[in-house]
Structure 1
Amino acid sequence: MTPDEIGTRLGTLLGGEQLTVGVSGGQAYARATVDVPPDRWRDALRTARDDAELGCDFFDWLSAVDELADGFDIVAHLWSTRHRHGVLLRTRVPRPEPEVPSVVDLYPGAAWHERETYEMFGIGFAGHAELRPLLLPPEFEGHPLRKEFVLASRVAKPWPGAKEPGESEAGTARRAPMRPPGVPAPGEWGDR
């Protein structure tokens, strides 16, 4: 199936209304892209998995994109190992209370991705039993992949050594050239 056919098939199976179907990438890297409302998130992933023509049996990855005032886009990529095609599913959740249903029971491989997205963006996955820290220490505050997250500033310290040759108090002392270990000095080898 072509990316257009995949997107059209999934859109038809999901009812078509409130969906945006398109193609992302180009040529050999083109993927069907389907935007679904948050309340249809699980249905979309289940349909992509269970439909015989789509057969997206492999969960590739899930993450999010911070769209500032528009909220967060949650993105999942599914792949069919039998048909060798993929589909990119997206949904947008509001910024104040970002949450979608978990898909761990549909794709067990999503557990790690949902935990990471929860930790880095603060997006909840209703029904996920173990939304606990994955990459950051437990005392860490905030969600580092949100655009409003302020990065810690670096403390500027003067460099204790000389910046350029000749700028130190010791003068312009030159280091004696050294031979690599095991290389004899000129005159110690060869014909005499």
Structure 2
Amino acid sequence: MIGALPSPTVRVAGAEVPIATGARANIAADLADRGTAGGRLSMLLAWFGGEDVLPDAVARHAPEALEAAIAWSSAAMGCMRYGRPTLGAKRSPGGSGAVIDWEEDAAIICADFLRFYRIDLWEEDPHWYRFCALLLALVRTEGSLVGQAARARSPLPRGAGAGERERARKLADAWTLPPTDAELREMARARF
């Protein structure tokens, strides 16, 4: 059954440090590039930087704080352990990977939250774990825009017939995400 939301703190160097629990902060952290020092700093600031100042334990033990925050944030997607879709900001090169993109799909996520849950994400910032549970339910809800986009971007099962493949191709075209910077670079290299 549904229990209490997790602690709004993470353990860093033996200290309990408050972490931002809102969906906006967690999405901002997910949008940051983990592969760069600037991206990792952006992640820490999203989770811990109230006034663009990191708590002492986070500043002194940044790798440990980042690891704890990623684990705390990622655990929210574990609310539905079955058939979990890939959600997130970035897709792997070649277009596979995430079926929901935080930036490109913001409008349909907000529209579906308002339509199905009467939660106005433009005004409210729900707890990250609550947001993830509701978003994952939307992915599986017939008639939701989020669900339509996720299904259109997901691979077809093996053995799909010609009619099903053609219908899936049309849906995929309608819901195709714009290419990432990495995909644009790869396309330019291929053309060159």
Q: How high is the TM-score relative to the length of structure 2? A: 0.27
Which protein has the bigger strand share? 1
Structure whose CA Rg is larger: 1
Which structure has the higher relative contact order (CA within 8 Å, separation 6+)? 2
Q: How high is the TM-score relative to the length of structure 1? A: 0.27
Which protein has the bigger helix share? 2
